[in-house]
């Protein structure tokens, strides 16, 4: 996020078709940085999020009666009024938005019924945004929601149907997938888990944090990188493993230089076969 505009421009000019953002990224400045890039590349798809209150939005949300001072101070809200307001703000800032992810709905509570009710309310607000022509669809971006059993893909589909009163516009899920958080890889290789369930339901699947926040390359030995594919750097090897995961559509990468981007793009051009990926996961488990 040190140079979101340069990173996005490098990515889309290098063939990326998705850019993923959030109002709270880059201390609230990322949307403004991305707008000119998106204007220059009208075919690029954009996903952003709703839930976390961006620093620059707190005063405005309170002043306009969207949030109470207590809600703004908490820093996260899935109230329908705030979801609609924040989505409209995002569209105004960016010029257009394809998908809006409900951002880490498990962040303020782990009680399943409470989270489900909040997600259903957010979905209802986003259905209104779809009906108004602001966005094309919505999804859920989670860090621990699937792994902690707070919700499943079938449950999210059910909540979307309830929110819409029938046909819905739930279109995607986003979750961490890496050689550290490898449960989705293991599950997909075995024909189950959220990635497979989402694909079966026709949803797009996004992997976040493929390098575990930049920590993973420091943990990967040259021997492990060579096991994944000889000649790759540690970072490129980690990305290749994630990009080879069955039923995964988009891998979200934050690259600090154009050289890093090119290395990542080249590394994932030829995915690993499923049997080879299973061998790597088995080695890590041992």
The Cα 128–Cα 122 span in angstroms is 10
Enter the tokens of residue 72.
């703004």
The Cα 57–Cα 23 span in angstroms is 9
The Cα 286–Cα 1 span in angstroms is 35
Query: Residue 216: which pLDDT band, with cuts at 50, 70 and 90?
Result: confident
Query: Which DSSP letter does residue 30 get?
Result: H
Q: Class for domain 4-176, per CATH?
A: alpha beta
The Cα 93–Cα 90 span in angstroms is 5
pLDDT of res. 1: 57
Closest CA to 88 of 29, 58, 38, 129: 129
Query: Residue 282: which pLDDT band, with cuts at 50, 70 and 90?
Result: very high
Per-residue pLDDT reduced to its tens digit, 11-65:
999 889 999 999 999 888 999 999 999 999 999 999 999 999 998 899 999 999 9
What's the average model confidence in pLDDT over 191-215? 96
pLDDT of res. 55: 87
What's the average model confidence in pLDDT over 113-124? 97
pLDDT of res. 213: 86
Considering the chain, what percentage of its residues have pLDDT values greater than 90?
85
Q: What is the mean pLDDT of the chain?
A: 94
pLDDT over 60 at 133, yes or no: yes
Contact 232, 267 (CB under 8 A): yes
Three-state DSSP string of 146-194: CCCCCCCHHHHHHHHHHHHCCCCCEEEEEEECCCCCCHHHHHHHCCCHH
What's the average model confidence in pLDDT over 115-123? 97
């Amino acid at each position: 996020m040190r140079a979101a505009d340069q990173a996005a421009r490098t990515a889309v000019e290098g063939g990326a078709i998705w850019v993923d953002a959030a109002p709270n990224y880059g201390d609230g400045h990322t949307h403004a940085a991305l707008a000119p890039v998106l204007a220059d590349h009208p075919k690029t798809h954009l996903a952003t999020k709703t839930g976390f209150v961006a620093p620059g939005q707190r005063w405005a949300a309170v002043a306009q009666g969207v949030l109470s001072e207590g809600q703004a101070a908490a820093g996260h809200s899935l109230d329908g009024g705030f979801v609609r307001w924040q989505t409209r703000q995002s569209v105004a800032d960016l010029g257009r938005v394809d998908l809006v992810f409900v951002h880490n709905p498990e962040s303020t509570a782990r009680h399943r019924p409470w989270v489900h009710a909040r997600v259903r309310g957010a979905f209802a607000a986003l259905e209104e945004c779809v009906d108004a022509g602001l966005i094309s669809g919505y999804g859920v971006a989670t860090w621990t929601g699937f792994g902690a059993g707070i919700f499943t893909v079938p449950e999210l589909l059910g909540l979307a149907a309830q929110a819409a009163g029938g046909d819905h516009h739930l279109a995607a899920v986003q979750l961490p997938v890496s050689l550290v958080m490898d449960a989705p890889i293991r599950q997909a290789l075995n024909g189950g888990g959220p990635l497979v369930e989402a694909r079966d339901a026709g949803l797009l699947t996004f992997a976040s944090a493929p390098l575990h926040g930049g920590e993973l390359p420091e943990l990967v030995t040259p021997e492990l990188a060579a096991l994944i594919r000889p000649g790759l750097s540690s970072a490129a090897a980690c990305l290749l493993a994630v990009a080879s995961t069955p039923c995964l559509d988009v891998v979200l990468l934050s690259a600090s230089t154009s050289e890093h981007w090119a290395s990542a793009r080249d590394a994932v051009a030829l995915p690993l076969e499923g049997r080879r990926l299973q061998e790597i996961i088995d080695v890590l488990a041992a």
